[in-house]
Structure 1
Amino acid sequence: MKKGKAMADWALGAAFVGPAALVFVLIVLFPFVMSIGYSFTEWNGVSSDMKWVGLANYTTILTEDRAFLHSFAFTVRFTLASVLLTNALGFLLALLLTQALKTRNFLRTIFFMPNVIGGLLLGFIWQFIFVKGFGTIGEKTGISFFNLPWLGDESTAFWGIVIVSVWQGAGYLMVIYIASLAGVPKDIIEAARIDGANRLQLLGRITFPLIMPAVTVCLFLSISWAFKMFDLNISLTKGGPFGSTESIALNIYQDAFRNNMLGLGSAKSVIFFVAVALVTIVQVSITKKREVEA
């Protein structure tokens, strides 16, 4: 009987998990393994002429490919700025919208809406805002901020992409922070207030440590989004001006699919995967240690 029940439980689990596992293997795992194999070849992705080159692609990337190294540096800078600002804004919005405001549900919807819009469409909308909208406002008001070449200069184009990224992602993180703040025990807060704790002390010593699981999740998501940023990049600046805002994802796309160097692009994607995996593992391990139980 026990063996029959175990087989029935296994069959039931396989019926539910099997289709999803099969899709994951075919869509994610199998192409990932294939890309590792392609990274050791010289192949244009189309012809049957595939040449085994060993570690040559990796050597070229790390020693000769300045464009990749520059895109890597840009992506790291963008990730730092985007992650910090997106989480800070999302947390501040969550603090604001957990107060007793009559319009808080409406405001939550408004702040979340940018995340619903696709990255490509969002990029084209903000491209119009930066070029036409800001230009018109600057012309009418004479305020120098609006007259900056937002997408035409390296420094301003960088911050332009950061602004759009933060505007898109903060609402999503806000929802996670709101859910976590709602779970903070009220009795602990009241006890701290009775003991004389002010608002900053309540936030730093009680609220923030108790919502660290949400911080772990939000940091993980925002780091992943920032490193993989592609749609905003290609729709806002296309990596310009002169490749100064080209992300790693866009650089890989250009080599693999525009320049027909799929082997080199695959090697870059493997390096990219290892870098992102290391960063996220370190981030999760650090923030997990700071989590406390209520």
Structure 2
Amino acid sequence: MRRSIQKWAILFLVPTLASFVIGFVYPFCKGVYLSLCKFTTTEDATFIGFGNYVKAFQDASFVHAFWYTALFAVVSVVLINLFAFLIAYALTQGIRGSNIFRTAFFMPNLIGGIVLGYIWSMIFNGILSRYNTNILMETKYGFWGLIILMCWQQVGYMMIIYIAGLQAVPEDMLEAAKIDGASRAQTLFRVIIPNVMSSITVCLFLTLTNGFKLFDQNLALTAGQPYVFKEGGTVVKTTEMLALNIYSTFYGQNVHARGTAQAKAVLFFILVAGISLIQLRATRRKEVQQ
């Protein structure tokens, strides 16, 4: 049986490998090449070297989007994981109706980002209208609006992962801690959290990458507004995140900036991949082997 599987394994791997090469490897390599070119379509690309990367770093809107996205990612990662863990911990304490609460918290994750953005924009504008303002007029409203939206959407999904981790904590460890006289707080920080580090690793990875890659919610809720004019006539959208900035650059009125947008996309990939790998390596060291 094993020899037969080894003999025909390549036949079953070919479709998946071909799909991966066609759908990811080739477009990625093509994108890296185009980031070194000046083009309006992929057929008229002219190699210019690293000029697009220089323009990307000189673009004030891209620099602002980078720091804005970094701040958003940090705040959203902390809040989403904190709320998700606390809810998961509460729902694993044997309270009545826990399954109903799990379903209710998870359901927002089933709604698409564009729909969520428009729904929450109406909610926020309805609240802010009494103060004669709206979410598009001040940067702080847009920032916290995106934070609330992301927490509302993702807390339920991360909660499910944390519940799975909490339910996998060995009962004998909990019993031993109880016999030794450990308080609830000591049991939580000395026994439970070390044993759910694998779940924490997964949730941190998902929330971190989702925070940096946020696009559709940003587009629907604020579209990057409000605008600020910098020196030299540069327009900066104060609530524009990296993914939306790349999209706006590529599909903007200046078709000659598409090479710059492609360079931004490559830098974006390097940033997200690098941060994600660092986070995975840091948290996996703290995982406890059960």
Report if TM-score (shorter chain) is over 0.5: yes
Match 1:73 to one of 55, 63, 67: 67
Q: 2:180 aligns to what? A: 195
Instruction: Name 1:127's counterpart in structure 2.
Output: 121
Distance 2:180 2:270 in 1: 48
The answer to whether the Cα contact below 8 Å between 2:161 and 2:203 also exists between their aligned partners in 1 is yes
**Whole-angstrom distance in 2 between the partners of 1:277 and 1:112:** 27
SS at match of 1:258: coil
TM superposition shift of 1:262: 2.4
Opposite residue 181 of structure 2, the aligned amino acid is: G
For 2:114, the aligned partner's letter is L
Q: 1:148·1:156 contact (CA, 8 Å) conserved in 2?
A: no
- The answer to which of 258-267 and 118-127 deviates more is 258-267
> Cα deviations across residues 178-222 of structure 1 (Å, max 9, x unaligned)?
001000011111111111111111111110001001111110111
Distance 1:203 1:16, change over 3 A: farther
Q: Return the offset for 1:13.
A: 2.7
Q: How does 1:38-187 map to 2 (within 5 A)?
A: 38-45=34-41, 48-62=43-57, 64-132=58-126, 134-135=127-128, 139=130, 149-187=134-172
User: Residues 12 and 87 (structure 1 numbering): CA distance in 2 closer, same or farther, change over 3 Å?
Assistant: farther
The match for 2:267 is 271
- Count of equivalent residues: 279
CA distance in 2, matches of 1:101, 1:148: 42
> Conserved in 2, the CA contact under 8 Å of 1:87 and 1:218?
yes
Distance 2:102 2:249 in 1: 41
Q: Amino acid of the residue matched to residue 17 of structure 1?
A: L
In 1, Cα distance between the equivalents of 2:91 and 2:12? 38
TM-score norm. by structure 1 comes to 0.90
Match of 2:195 in 1: 210
Separation in structure 1 between the aligned mates of residue 181 and residue 135 of structure 2, nearest angstrom: 48
Q: Which runs of 5+ in 1 are unaligned?
A: none
Tell me the SS of whatever aligns to 2:44. coil
- Aligned counterparts of 1:18 and 1:183: Cα–Cα separation in 2: 37
- Distance in 1 between residues matched to 2:32 and 2:110, nearest whole Å: 33
Q: Which runs of 5+ in 2 are unaligned?
A: 228-236
Number of the residue aligned with 1:251: 245
Taking the aligned partners of 2:12 and 2:82, their CA distance within structure 1 comes to 39
Moved more, 222-231 or 259-268: 259-268
Shift of 1:14: 3.2
The answer to whether the Cα contact below 8 Å between 1:79 and 1:223 also exists between their aligned partners in 2 is: yes
Letter of the 2:88 counterpart: A
Q: Is the 8 A contact 1:151 1:160 kept in 2?
A: no
Aligned residue identity for 1:206: V
What is the aligned counterpart of 2:285 among 281, 289, 293?
289
TM-score (norm. length: structure 2): 0.91
2:224 to 234, 239, 242: 239
Distance apart, 1:135 and its partner CA: 4.3
Aligned counterparts of 1:272 and 1:80: Cα–Cα separation in 2: 16
Percentage identity across paired residues of the two chains? 39
Residues 130 and 151 in structure 1, CA contact (< 8 A), matched pair in contact too: no
State the Cα RMSD in Å: 1.8
Q: Deviation of residue 96 (structure 1)?
A: 1.1
Does structure 1 conserve the Cα–Cα contact (< 8 Å) formed by 2:135 and 2:222?
Answer: no
Helix, strand or coil: the match of 2:41?
A: coil
How much has 1:171 moved relative to structure 2? 0.6
**Larger mean Cα displacement after TM superposition, 258-267 or 49-58:** 258-267
Q: CA deviation at 1:155?
A: 1.2
Whether contact under 8 Å (1:180, 1:214) holds in the other structure is: yes
Cα separation, partners in 2 of 1:205 and 1:246, compared to 1, 3 Å: same
Q: 1:11 offset after TM fit, Å? A: 5.0
